[in-house]
Amino acid sequence: MSAFPNAAAFTDAAPLFRIASERACEIAQREALLDLAMGPGRTRKSSEAIRRGRLPAEGLALSATGADGALAATVRLWNISAGRRDGAAVPALLLGPLAVDPALQGAGLGGLMMRHAIAEAARLGHGAIILVGDPEYYQRFGFSPEKTARLAMPGPFEPRRLLALEFAAGHLDGVSGRIRPTGRLEGTARLRTPLRIAA
């Protein structure tokens, strides 16, 4: 059940959401939010095969909480190899899942989370982000399938939904092959970097 039964009040009042690094105490809330927003089939997606058993990229597991402290949205990014070029793995990030409490959809929180995630990834010096999602939604943030035509996920996926955003021009030029996880394994220490509060 949503922690935000009066979603219209949140939208009308344009509340502040605090976006910060995910905290350990939010793990159970995050899993419940993902189930609520995405349903039980979320664990069978190709992206999940890349995330399973890994920790998110340092500083790139983000949570948004409302004025009452309830978890409103979550997004995480993961270290990957975006195929290979000239025999060498090309580092990048995989974004997902992005989930917003269904009661808050339409309030702009998904876009707010995306902008923060992109800004943090760029600030931390990453070269590109890849995701699997609807082009109609993600193109507004600069994602396109232009550089992903020769990349593959570790399982079924729709090629038109494999999208990328480069921070460094040409970072994904000529890449091909399977996207693979490269991040830290679960059980290793995770650093938490404080983030600014945003509206």
What is the chain's mean pLDDT, rounded?
Answer: 87
Q: What is the pLDDT of residue 167?
A: 97
Lowest mean pLDDT among 76-85, 97-106, 177-186: 97-106
Q: What is the pLDDT of residue 188?
A: 61
Percent of the chain with pLDDT over 70: 85
Q: Residue 6: is its pLDDT beyond 50? A: no
Cα separation, 139 vs 44, whole angstroms: 25
Cα separation, 154 vs 78, whole angstroms: 15
Query: 81 and 89 in contact (C-beta within 8 Å)?
Result: yes
- For the segment 134-145, the average pLDDT, to the nearest whole number, is 97
14-27 pLDDT tens trace: 457 899 999 998 98
Q: Who's near 18: CB < 8 A, 6+ residues apart?
A: 64, 65, 197, 198
Cα separation, 83 vs 130, whole angstroms: 11
Q: Residue 91: is its pLDDT beyond 80? A: yes
Structure tokens at 50: 């890349």
Query: 34 and 135 in contact (C-beta within 8 Å)?
Result: no
The residue to which tokens 């993902």 are assigned? 34
Q: What is the pLDDT of residue 106?
A: 87
Cα separation, 159 vs 152, whole angstroms: 8
24-74 pLDDT tens trace: 989 899 999 999 888 877 767 888 989 999 999 999 999 999 888 899 999
Q: Domain coordinates of the chain in residue numbers?
A: 7-181
Tell me the pLDDT band of 4, cut-offs 50, 70 and 90. very low
Q: What is the pLDDT of residue 189?
A: 52
Q: What is the pLDDT of residue 184?
A: 94
**H/E stretch holding 38:** helix 27-38
Q: What is the pLDDT of residue 39?
A: 82
Q: What is the pLDDT of residue 191?
A: 43
Q: What is the pTM of this model?
A: 0.85
Domain 7-181 has CATH 3.40.630.30: yes
- For the segment 181-196, the average pLDDT, to the nearest whole number, is 67
